[in-house]
Amino acid sequence: MIGCRCPVCLSSDPRNQRLRASALVETRQRCLLIDAGTDFRQQALRYNIERVDGVLFTHAHADHIHGIDELRVFNVRHLHHIPCYGNGDTIRRLKAYFDYIFENGAEEGFRPRLELVEVLGNFCVEGIEVIPVPLWHGKLSVLGYRLGGFAYLTDVSQVPDSSWPLLEELELLVIDALRAKPHPTHFSIEQALQAAERVRASRTVLTHLSHHVDHEAVSKTLPPKVELGYDGMVFELKDP
């Protein structure tokens, strides 16, 4: 947190030095990005991201979309438009916030070549099946995503009854756990643990951690099969 001098913000533990929550799914020589947040350029450089074939947007809050302009380099590298998926609210907000990208008309310079696609059900990207998982982020309807045995649920405060069946038999669950204290628009750590117990994935990773979460201290309190995420974390899963 800018200007903060709490123990976590001053920590030398790299697991406490967190950029915005995001994920990259690599399969079949294709890469799907989940959210392009404010830190996307830094993340792409740090982790040597060389291609993006599609973007799965969970919702249109700044920390999940404000790196969208950096996608233009992947247009240049691979000479194709990049499809960007989201629910109706996300698509509407992206069009409004980034009108220079999505409005027709005269243009100066090179803008990202992106194609907005509203998610209305299961869909495929480069032959990869994606299952949208409707969630609530406070009063905002957002999406999580499932690809094979992997599900990514960030910025969630409630899982609708109809979404729980979409999370059965998971190999890996990555789920929002902002802090210990309850929050109106995010799962607390305890709420995330309750969700993990219901899903019973082989492995659960808590993400979107605030600076109130010290990685080493909190990790010692977690049950088996649950762990805290950190920047650069990599998983190898079965091909979906």
pLDDT tens digits, 29-53: 899 999 999 999 999 999 999 999 9
pTM: 0.96
**What pLDDT, on the 0 to 100 scale, is given for residue 110?**
81
pLDDT in the model for residue 105: 67
Cβ atoms of residues 189 and 179 within 8 Å: yes
Q: What is the pLDDT of residue 21?
A: 96
Partnered with residue 206 across adjacent β-strands are: 175, 228
Three-state secondary structure of the chain: CCCCCCCCCCCCCHHHCCCCCCEEEEECCEEEEECCCCCHHHHHHHCCCCCCCEEECCCCCHHHHCCHHHHHHHHHHHCCCEEEEECHHHHHHHHHHCHHHHCCCCCCCCCCCEEEEECCCCEEECCEEEEEEEEEECCEEEEEEEECCEEEECCCCECCHHHHHHHCCCCEEEEECCCCCCCCCCCCHHHHHHHHHHHCCCEEEEECCCCCCCHHHHHCCCCCCEEECCCCCCCCCCCC
Encoded tokens for 136: 């609530």
Q: How far apart are CA 167 and CA 46, in angstroms?
A: 31
Q: CA 61, 67, 68, 74: dihedral to nearest 10 degrees?
A: -150
The pLDDT confidence band at residue 200, using thresholds 50, 70 and 90, is very high
Its CATH architecture, for the domain 21-228, is: 4-Layer Sandwich (3.60)
Name the CA dihedral angle for 38, 41, 44, 48, rounded to a multiple of 10 degrees.
Answer: -160
Q: Are 95 and 121 in contact (CB under 8 A)?
A: no
Would the pLDDT of 240 be above 70? no
Please indicate whether residue 120 or residue 104 has the higher confidence score (pLDDT).
Answer: 120
Q: What is the percent of the chain where pLDDT is above 70? A: 98
